[in-house]
Amino acid sequence: MNAGMEFKLSHLQSMLLFALLISIAFGFLSRRRPIDRVKYVVWSLFLFLLIGVGIGWAMYPFSH
């Protein structure tokens, strides 16, 4: 194994990767037909990002 492997991701990159991976996994587990999977992945990803950004903005006033 490569002991020196290290990733430096921004908040946005981390959120995007997390949302994408989980959406794909949920889509494949919960739907059978390819078209249904694609719809589910896209919708799930959209909601993940919407809620993530929404919570981010909701916390913004408390960061100052």
Partner 1 sequence: MANETVVPAAVQQDSRRETIAFLIGVAGWLVPGLGHALLRMWGRAVMCFLTVGVLVILGAGMRGNVFSSSGNDAFDTLGFLADLGTGTFYLAARSLEANGADVSHAGGDYGTRFLATAGVLNLLAALHAYEAARGRKA
Residues that bind partner 1 (CB under 8 A): 1-3, 5-9, 11, 14, 17-18, 21-22, 24-25, 28-29, 32
Q: How is 11-54 classified by DSSP, letter by letter? A: HHHHHHHHHHHHHHHHHHHH--SHHHHHHHHHHHHHHHHHHHHH
- C-beta closer to partner 1: residue 21 or 51: 21
Question: Residues 6 or more apart from 64 whose CB is under 8 A from it?
Answer: none
The least CB distance from residue 43 to partner 1, in Å, is 17
- C-beta closer to partner 1: residue 18 or 46: 18
The least CB distance from residue 14 to partner 1, in Å, is 4
